[in-house]
Every structure is written in C-alpha cells, then in structure tokens.
Chain A
Amino acid sequence: MTKLTFIAFDGTRFDVDAENGSTVMENAIRNAVPGIEAECGGACACATCHVYVDDAWTDAVGEPAAMEEDMLDFAFDVRPTSRLSCQIKVRDEFDGLVVSVPERQG
C-alpha cells in the first residue's frame, strides 16, 4: 500500500492507503474527499478531478500528457502544478504523495 494525502480546500487532511495501479482520483472518491467530482468516471473527458500536486512531488509525478493538458483548459484556476487526478497512477515511488483540492472544479 502506498500512502497518499489529500488536502481539501478547507484544509482538512485525508491520509489514505492506496493500491498501486489505482488512480489518485479513485482513491479520492473511495475516501469521499470533498471537491473531487470525477464526473466522467476517469475517462480524461472532463476536468472535475483537478488537483494541485505538492511542490515537493511535481518532478516525481511528472507533466500531464497532451490530452490531459487539453482537458485542463476546462478546469478552474489552473496552475503549473495542476493535474487531473484520474491520470495519475499510484506506484511505490509516490509513497507520501500530497495533493490539494482546488476551490472548485470546472
């Protein structure tokens, strides 16, 4: 199990155990993290699972692919650390990963 931390917009921390291979979005939904909507169910077809990756983790997590970058156009308050959480797959190296939920989804 890999430990992930979600920080909701109001500052509440959610420490969760995530299975490798699952997406960060799926773990947010499973643990009812507020502010992650995932309207399309993880098809990279909306922008409602938008998160900010903690600065310490941006290099490890990497950049969004072209299709995800296109989708991010529809998100609210997109920043250089923005990712769609359905496109981040959990693996060992992400143990301790911290992501924050934006004020609102697109």
Chain B
Amino acid sequence: MHCCPILQIGALAMATITRTDVVIVGAGPVGLFAVFELGLLDLKCHLIDILDRPGGQCAELYPEKPIYDIPGWPRISAQGLVDKLMEQAAPFKPQFTFNRMVSSLERLDDGSFRLTTDEGEVLEAKVVVIAAGGGSFQPKRPPIPGIEPYEGKSVFYSVRRMEEFRGHDLVIVGGGDSALDWTLNLQPIANSVTLVHRRPEFRAAPDSVNKMYAMQEMKQLDFQVGQVTALAGKEGRLASATIKGADGDVEVPCTRMLPFFGLTMKLGPIAEWGLNLNENLIPVDTEKFETSVPGIFAIGDINSYPGKLKLILSGFHEAALMAQAAKRIVSPGERIVFQYTTSSTNLQKKLGVVE
C-alpha cells in the first residue's frame, strides 16, 4: 500500500520535461555570453555542463591564469572573466544543470529538439547551441599499455556503487582527493587495498593523507610508491598489476583497479547526434554558425570554419550572430530590430538598468 505514492513520484519525475527557448550545451565563457546575446532578443536559456560549476576550461584548468586578449580587459584572470560573464548574464536568469552530460538529442515532429541527460532529465527547446569547447571533461585513461580490454570490467574510472568493490583486491592509483577518498571509503569493504602513487607527497587533503598513512601503519592497506606499468589478466578480468618503484618491479595481485589520472576533454555523445563532423570539430557557416542540422548551432572552440581561431573573443562574436538566427527560429515572422545597449531603452529595461 505504501509503495504507491513512491511509484507515483517516480513516474512524475520521469515525466517532467523542462521547456525553454534555447538549450546551451556547455557553460564555458562562450556559452555564458550566448545567454546575454540571446537574452537581449528575449530568448530564455538553459545550460547543461558536466562540471559542477560554470566556467568550463577557464574554471577547471586555469582559474588563476591571467588572460590578456579579452577586448577591454588588458588583464583578467580566467575565473574573474567567468564571474563577470555570470554577472552579465544574470538579468536574463539562465537556468543551469551541472554535473550532467547530454547523452542524446532527437528532433520532434514540431521541429523542436528533445535532449536527455545521462541521468535521464529531459529538456525541450526550439534551438540547441553547442558551446562545448574541447568537449566534455572525462576521466583520463592512465598511460598503461593494454588497459582497454579491462575497462568497465575490472578497471573503473569512477565509483558508481561501492558494493561493486566489496570483497575485491583493489588497486587505487593516484595522489589526489579522489584516490585518497576512495582508498579510505573502500578499505572497510574491500578484501585488500593497495594505493599506488609515484611519490610520497599527495595533492589530496592532508587529513586524508594522514588517515591513509595511519591505516598503513596498522597494516589495513598497502601504500606503494611507484607507477603502474603493466596489467595481467584474461578476458578483461584483472589478475595483477606491475608497479615500477625505486627498487624495481613489484607485481601486486588484484581484481579491481581504480585509476584517478585527472580529466581530459572528449567530444563524447555529441558525435552521435547526426551532425557533420570534421576531426572532432563541428563545421558551421560563418553567417549564423549553424551546423548541418538546422536549429542546432555550434559556437566557440568546438566549431570549425575557414579562418577559425580558437579564441574566447571569436566565440563571443559567434554568439552574437548565432543569436540573430536563433531568434528567427523561435519567433518566426517577428521583425528583429537591431539595437545598441548604449541607447536602446528597450534593451536597458531588459538589463534592468532603467525603470
């Protein structure tokens, strides 16, 4: 009896569709500026990003690095630029879905698009803007020859369910927070845990490192200084890992491995959306920055056209031109009046700078 309300909630959650004018895939600087340009034309935006915050590469790779080629900013830190772009986009109240990847995109009968995230959320919009930069950030494959056949069977790049590691002989590789946190969290349920890192210093929080060393003292886990150079096993079932340390090679028997080697950028599911691609880039025209599928645009580092430069400022220009074309799709027949933010009271109202 009590199960019914829960089922209903589940069904309701499944059926929830977020509707907006434009879905922007990627919340990096160019995606954020697109919110502004689209907003001036009264288009509402929803951004999806695999990271847990806006900014893309600027936030993830080099937040503190100064950028010198943003027009009007002789010097601005990457995070500073992201903060300013968020401020500039704020009047248009963009919606964000973080920690998600768009896993599929389909065209509906009315010409609009339905996008589904890797967690099953559904969004519908008349226009899709791909501003995904170098692609989505995904766990990096460690430089171990022959690792591929073990992936998804014995080698995992994230822990979705801890139970999958119960009773296993586990090798965890890396020196950051992910490696240390999972070492501490999986140790109680694993049969054995070996942590491998190439040096005794860690990037991870000192508290976790101290806990790990304490557990090593009590022989609850084994910490090896070295680098994994080879794997042995059969048909994807891992049997052992070879660790090259200061005193030569050590072979550690294991049935599961969790390598944490940071993030890299991959095109990901975008490759399966039926768009023309050229060397992992999306060819577009230079009038509207539209892809081979009408209604889907690509701006910023992910697009390609003759003379393309992967500069943030080029992405800003692309966003402005794309917005004009997007407006024509969302509001067909409506006359678009070209206006300046310096003088248009209409635009200034949208920006909230005049009453």
Q: Which of B62, B65, B174, B229 sits near A73, CB closer than 8 Å?
A: B174
Evaluate contact between A78 and B198: CB separation under 8 angstroms: yes
**What's the nearest-Cβ distance from chain B to residue A41, in Å?**
9
Asked if B201 is at the interface of the complex by the 8 Å CB criterion, the answer is yes
- Contacting residues, chain B, for A72 (C-beta < 8 A): 198
Binary flags per residue of B171-208, CB closer than 8 Å to A gives 1, else 0: 00011100000000000000000000111010100000
**What's the nearest-Cβ distance from chain B to residue A48, in Å?**
9
Q: Which of A73, A76, A77, A105 sits near B175, CB closer than 8 Å?
A: A73
- Identify whether the interface residues of B are mostly helix, strand, loop, or mixed: loop
Evaluate contact between B140 and A106: CB separation under 8 angstroms: yes
Binding site for B on A (CB under 8 A): 39-40, 43, 45-46, 69-70, 72-78, 104-106
Q: Which residue of A lies closest to B142 (CB)?
A: A106
Contacts A40-B61, A43-B62, A73-B203 given; indicate if A106 touches B143 (C-beta within 8 A): yes
Of the four ranges (under 10, 10 to 19, 20 to 34, 35 or more), the interface on chain B belongs to 10 to 19
**What's the nearest-Cβ distance from chain A to residue B214, in Å?**
22
**What's the nearest-Cβ distance from chain A to residue B20, in Å?**
32
Asked if B167 is at the interface of the complex by the 8 Å CB criterion, the answer is no
- Contacting residues, chain A, for B269 (C-beta < 8 A): none
CA distance A69 to B198 in the complex (A): 11
Asked if B227 is at the interface of the complex by the 8 Å CB criterion, the answer is yes
- Contacting residues, chain B, for A106 (C-beta < 8 A): 140, 142-143, 261
Contacts A40-B61, A43-B61 given; indicate if A74 touches B140 (C-beta within 8 A): yes
Q: Which 6 A-B pairs have the closest CB atoms?
A: A76-B143, A45-B61, A43-B62, A70-B203, A74-B262, A106-B143
Contacts A43-B61, A106-B140 given; indicate if A69 touches B262 (C-beta within 8 A): no
Contacts A78-B227, A104-B143 given; indicate if A45 touches B62 (C-beta within 8 A): yes
Q: Which residue of B lies closest to A48 (CB)?
A: B264
Binary flags per residue of B51-67, CB closer than 8 Å to A gives 1, else 0: 00000000001100100
Contacts A104-B143, A106-B143 given; indicate if A69 touches B62 (C-beta within 8 A): no
Since A74-B140, A106-B140 are in contact, a sample of 19 more A-B pairs with Cβ atoms closer than 8 Å, ordered by chain A residue number, is A40-B61, A43-B62, A45-B61, A46-B61, A46-B264, A69-B199, A73-B176, A73-B197, A73-B199, A73-B203, A73-B262, A75-B143, A77-B229, A78-B198, A78-B227, A105-B143, A106-B142, A106-B143, A106-B261
Evaluate contact between B261 and A74: CB separation under 8 angstroms: yes
Evaluate contact between A43 and B65: CB separation under 8 angstroms: yes
CA distance A39 to B134 in the complex (A): 10
- Contacting residues, chain B, for A69 (C-beta < 8 A): 199, 201
Q: Which of A46, A70, A72, A74 has the most CB of B within 10 A?
A: A74
Q: Which residue of A lies closest to B201 (CB)?
A: A69
